[in-house]
Amino acid sequence: MLKLHFAPNSRAGRIVWLLEELGLPYDINKMAFHPQDLKSDEHRSRHPLGRVPVLEDGEISIYESGAIVEYIIERHKNGGLKPEVASDLYPMFLQWFHYCEGMVMPPINTIIVQTILLPEDRRDETALGQAQRLLSKALAPVEENLEGKDYLIGDFSAADIMLGHSCFMSNRLGCVTDEMTNLKAYVERIQQRPAFKTAIEM
């Protein structure tokens, strides 16, 4: 049985979403998004930085959400939710799968720090503005790519688990503008998926 160590409002939501989409059974250890849980000695034994998600599969323990997604679809669903390597869609699948952590999440992380995590007297409006502008630039190619598509490569895939979750977060932070009509519609489609609702409401 797969076991997921999880905290709400984190990248661990991607893994719940994936497991629900694939219909895989799993146990969950739900922790508070708080140092008391995440920085405990017990959890640091799973993740040296005290972060989530962490997936346990028998004797295997693995962290990093992208690595966990790839592990699950290869080990437990025979490559489900991704195109065949020989497919013309495979390069685009890889690009958008990794685009979220390379381009979209770094400014999101800064925005969250500057608007939520830091006390008001330590926030930096300059750093916040730079991150918001960088996020807008990072989302522009996604908006363009979604023209005429329901999902990133056409059909729903694990790339949507990764980047779609980041687009949802961007929208929740008010960084998907009304002019980004393709992204707005994309986020709405994601939010209507039952597996996503389960992950977000957990």
Residue 190 and residue 109 in one domain: yes
pLDDT for 11: 96
Among residues 75, 101, 132, the one where a domain terminates is 75
Cα distances (angstroms) measured from residue 113 to each of 33, 36, 80: 14, 19, 35
Average pLDDT over residues 166-180: 97
Q: What CATH number corresponds to the domain at position 160? A: 1.20.1050.10
What residues make up the domain containing 166? 90-197
Count of structural domains, the chain:
2
pLDDT for 92: 98
Average pLDDT over residues 98-114: 97
Is 90 exceeded by the pLDDT of residue 78? Answer: no
| Domain presence at residue 127 | yes
Q: How many CB atoms lie within 10 A of CB 82?
A: 21
| Domain presence at residue 82 | no
| Domain presence at residue 81 | no
pLDDT band at 80 (very low <50, low <70, confident <90, very high): confident
pLDDT for 2: 98
Q: What CATH number corresponds to the domain at position 19? A: 3.40.30.10
Terminal C-alpha separation, the chain: 19
pLDDT for 55: 98
Residue 98 and residue 179 in one domain: yes
Residue 57 and residue 98 in one domain: no
Residue 101 and residue 191 in one domain: yes
| Domain presence at residue 139 | yes
